[in-house]
Structure 1
Amino acid sequence: MAMEENKIRAANWFSALRDEIVAAFEKLEDTQGSGPFASQPAGRFELRETERDGGKGGGGLMSVMRGGRVFEKVGVNISSVHGQLGERAQMAMASRPGMAGMAEDPSFWASGISLVAHMQNPQTPAVHMNTRMFWTPHGWWFGGGADLNPCLEYTEDTASFHDALKARCDLHDAGYYPRFKEWADRYFYIPHRKRARGVGGIFYDDLNTGDWEADFAFTQDVGRAFLEAFLPVTEKRRNDGWSDADKEAQLVHRGLYAEYNLVYDRGTKFGLETGHDPDAVLMSLPPLAKWI
């Protein structure tokens, strides 16, 4: 019974975080008073409910803004899904701590929030964030993180973003930030390009210290850290001018981002293999991209 209550608490938190982020992003749209897109209407999120397995396996809410003053495309999705893992997903889960029994009982429940923002101004970096809770009869864990993806890199922006994430990590464990930063550096790496997809952040998975409350509190702080890390960088750069060459660099960098998400991203693979709404799973893809 306690774990069922914990699932509800986690799902409600992800939903509340979604509401906070959506409100902050729409406020950015309202306050954008200069630049080539300032004369058009402020962007607003369009909402659509999503389903897994025709609704029998739960679902979520897909929130996407397109063609705004600040955001060219941004999605903030939440979901709570459940059911039976297929054979490929079982094999992937079996390698995780305590998951050897997945073949006998492949039941699962998962809830989380996933965000990707692609910006109008190439001076303003794209960004990704997600946090999630996963449960099976064999164990539970939390995962998530955030990483910055500028096409035009500024050392001070990278430092500011990382400092905000580190401050939240340090509230829980002084070892979390260096550990999860290094994990992000490994995870958000594109082997076939021999480079990272951005300037990093933090990433963690399989977090189960044995203390659900502590791990949930940390995951909440990762969610809180996102706006603290991203909004100052956006405010600083969103009114900067850009050239045709800058826009070209942005489109090429988006191609890199798309390659990573389609070839390597765990969340993309899991969502498609477990039958979740493909539009919600592929929300992360940029509206326009270019390959040389």
Structure 2
Amino acid sequence: MAEEFTSEKAEASAWFRQLRDEIVDAFEELEQSHDEGPLSDAEPGRFEVTPTKRESSDGSDAGGGLMSVMRGGRVFEKVGVNVSTVFGTLGERAQMAMAARKGIPGMTEDPRFWASGISLVAHMQNPHVPAVHMNTRMFWTPHAWWFGGGSDLNPCIEYDKDTAHFHGEQQAHLDPHGKAHYPRFKEWADEYFYIPHRKRARGVGGIFMDDYSTGDWHADFALTQDIGRAFLPAYLPLVRKRRTTAWDEADKDAQLVHRGLYAEYNLVYDRGTKFGLETGHDANAVLMSLPPLAKWV
């Protein structure tokens, strides 16, 4: 049986909030830049911050977080950076899923849980700037604890140098924890972000891990932190390089069609979407990842 992990929970929750603040500041700074090129005359976007709350069945405190969304900016068409810490009792369906997926005994006897994390999805104005997803999280039950997360790049117009840079930063942050992590987590991402009914990946991959627990909480948390730290140096240079590239209607059409893949994946396969809705978290926060516009052919 896992311990209560009171101090570890507090440390993880504070870290996810810190990472959220750093990313929000960096994205608003991008919006304030004055590069010449497409969208340079548009008004800079700002994040709208809304508290979120998990709905418990008995009305008791079940935690919540912050939903930070920017719409219609100069660089970002829609971007959400959510952070939350929620807790309570897992419902019967969630208990069954947890026991089956992770092999955790005793879920029906003591189905308490605690979860904290950050989740980010960015959909861009310029079709040459790739969309991106990132999340890291910690999950605890009285019977086990584990970490999960990663980030993956979703360009509609692919540039090999951009893909190499994104993956290179991921590897550089993972290698200090062991050379086997990057190839393992890259393969995991390739498998996880595959869309079976389309027989293709939704993007050019990245890294992903789930149910990760070696038994050394501090080592696993340090690894999770570096997954989060890799995000800005992996992604910001790509945005700065591509945000003023000229684009036409054909490029925009390709972007909207590609977004359809993203929507399909998140609604049909994504575990985080299913878990968030199943456990009563704010539906707008859970579905924040969906693009503002998409197209199907």
TM-score, normalised by the number of residues in structure 2: 0.96
- Alpha-carbon offset, residue 127 of structure 1: 0.0
- Matched with 2:24 is 22
Q: Work out the CA distance in 2 between the residues paired with 1:244 and 1:216.
A: 44
* Counterpart selection for 2:150 from 145, 158, 170: 145
Q: Work out the CA distance in 1 between the residues paired with 2:149 and 2:192.
A: 12
- Matched with 1:167 is 172
- Matched with 2:36 is 34
- Matched with 1:266 is 271
Aligned to 2:177, the other structure's residue is in SS state coil
- Matched with 2:282 is 277
* Counterpart selection for 2:183 from 169, 178, 189: 178
* CA deviation string 1:154-177 (max 9, x = no partner): 111101100000011101011100
Give the residue type in structure 1 aligned to 2:37. Answer: G
- Matched with 2:243 is 238
Are residues 1:72 and 2:77 paired? yes
**Which sits farther off after the overlay, 14-23 or 93-102?**
93-102
CA contact (8 A) 2:38 2:244 kept: no
Are residues 1:90 and 2:95 paired? yes
Q: Work out the CA distance in 1 between the residues paired with 2:226 and 2:114.
A: 22
* Counterpart selection for 2:47 from 19, 26, 45: 45
Q: Work out the CA distance in 1 between the residues paired with 2:154 and 2:60.
A: 34
**Which sits farther off after the overlay, 100-109 or 242-251?**
100-109
* Counterpart selection for 2:198 from 190, 193, 214: 193
Find runs of 4+ consecutive structure 1 residues off by over 6 angstroms. Answer: none
Give the residue type in structure 2 aligned to 1:155. Answer: D
Q: Work out the CA distance in 1 between the residues paired with 2:174 and 2:288.
A: 28
CA contact (8 A) 1:32 1:69 kept: no
Q: Work out the CA distance in 2 between the residues paired with 1:55 and 1:122.
A: 45
CA contact (8 A) 1:96 1:206 kept: no
- Alpha-carbon offset, residue 97 of structure 1: 4.2
Q: Work out the CA distance in 1 between the residues paired with 2:227 and 2:34.
A: 27
Aligned to 1:103, the other structure's residue is in SS state coil
Aligned to 2:150, the other structure's residue is in SS state strand
* CA deviation string 1:62-89 (max 9, x = no partner): 0000000000000000000001111221
**Which sits farther off after the overlay, 229-238 or 263-272?**
229-238
CA contact (8 A) 1:83 1:109 kept: yes
- Alpha-carbon offset, residue 272 of structure 1: 0.2
Give the residue type in structure 2 aligned to 1:12. Answer: A
Q: Work out the CA distance in 2 between the residues paired with 1:241 and 1:101.
A: 57
Please, which runs of 5 or more residues in structure 2 have no aligned partner? none
Give the residue type in structure 1 aligned to 2:281. Answer: H
Q: Work out the CA distance in 2 between the residues paired with 1:279 and 1:97.
A: 28
Q: Work out the CA distance in 2 between the residues paired with 1:43 and 1:102.
A: 45
Are residues 1:112 and 2:114 paired? no
Please, which runs of 5 or more residues in structure 1 have no aligned partner? none
Q: Work out the CA distance in 2 between the residues paired with 1:93 and 1:169.
A: 28
Q: Work out the CA distance in 1 between the residues paired with 2:53 and 2:159.
A: 40
Q: Work out the CA distance in 2 between the residues paired with 1:106 and 1:127.
A: 34
* CA deviation string 1:14-60 (max 9, x = no partner): 00000000000011101143333221221110000000016721100
User: Aligned residue pairs: how many?
Assistant: 292
**Which sits farther off after the overlay, 3-12 or 38-47?**
38-47
* CA deviation string 1:73-127 (max 9, x = no partner): 0000000000111122111111344512112111100000000000000000000
CA contact (8 A) 2:38 2:245 kept: no
Instruction: Sort the Cα spacing of 1:159 and 1:119 in 2 relative to 1 into closer, same or farther, 3 A.
Output: same
CA contact (8 A) 1:98 1:138 kept: no
CA contact (8 A) 1:98 1:139 kept: no
* Counterpart selection for 2:12 from 10, 13, 29: 10
* CA deviation string 1:224-269 (max 9, x = no partner): 0000100111111111111110000000000110000000000000
Instruction: Sort the Cα spacing of 1:16 and 1:93 in 2 relative to 1 into closer, same or farther, 3 A.
Output: same
Q: Work out the CA distance in 2 between the residues paired with 1:75 and 1:84.
A: 27
* Counterpart selection for 1:134 from 113, 117, 139: 139
Q: Work out the CA distance in 1 between the residues paired with 2:24 and 2:291.
A: 18
